[in-house]
Chains A and B, each alone.
Chain A
Amino acid sequence: EDKVVQSPLSLVVHEGDTVTLNCSYEVTNFRSLLWYKQEKKAPTFLFMLTSSGIEKKSGRLSSILDKKELFSILNITATQTGDSAIYLCAVEDSGTYKYIFGTGTRLKVLA
């Protein structure tokens, strides 16, 4: 059965810290991996990764995919209280058109 596993489940850090969130997957027909940030409302898109080893970067956030080891990481440097959210990882299965989501990592950044 296809699955996406995120770790850690939750994380508490202080402002200025760097965090690394993990996403591993077992999906039959991998097409892409997406990261989302969810605060109190709907998830908002962060990155889409399709190729191994190519880092995507947006400000203090960056992400990379390893298709051989079947995982991705999301890095956040110099964390701010506004980074507090649930970070979701999803993998698209090209055979079923499904997006399979992990349960998310709840990040809390303390001032």
Chain B
Amino acid sequence: KAGVTQTPRYLIKTRGQQVTLSCSPISGHRSVSWYQQTPGQGLQFLFEYFSETQRNKGNFPGRFSGRQFSNSRSEMNVSTLELGDSALYLCASSDRDSLASTDTQYFGPGTRLTVL
């Protein structure tokens, strides 16, 4: 099976702009989670989508939003970018809710966002 893919891999934006990141999970996985990783804060949970519904949300401002499509692909949007949003954004997919679940998250390669 192909792994989790994320696009784009690198992105440079300026303050005030908005950005959309995309994640395609492993085939058959319906759960997609998003994380922000920075050197100081480590991996911080943003939100999880399952069957097109946001099932859980971390402690991030409303500028961070997401959605999931019927094919389980997910997008994450950040509006009104701030310098502090510069980070590696990781997407992970899981089959956690399936009968044969391995209870494991598989990460994509990440999108490195730089805000100038």
Residues of A within 8 A of B (CB): 31-32, 34, 36, 41-45, 48, 50, 88, 90, 92, 96-104
Contacts and interface: CB of A to CB of B under 8 A. Distances in A.
Given A42-B108, A101-B44, A103-B42, 9 more contacts: A32-B103, A42-B109, A48-B102, A88-B43, A92-B103, A97-B96, A98-B48, A99-B45, A102-B42
B107 A96 contact: no
A94 B109 CA distance: 26
Nearest to A1: B59
A22 to B, nearest CB: 15
A98 B103 contact: no
Given A97-B55, A98-B45, A104-B42, A45 B106 contact: yes
B45 A45 contact: no
Contact of B104 (A34, A41, A88, A97): A34
Interface in B35-91: 35, 41-45, 48, 50, 55-56, 58, 90
* Prevailing SS type, chain B contact patch: strand
A43 B107 contact: yes
A42 B110 CA distance: 6
Given A32-B103, A41-B110, A45-B104, A100 B42 contact: no
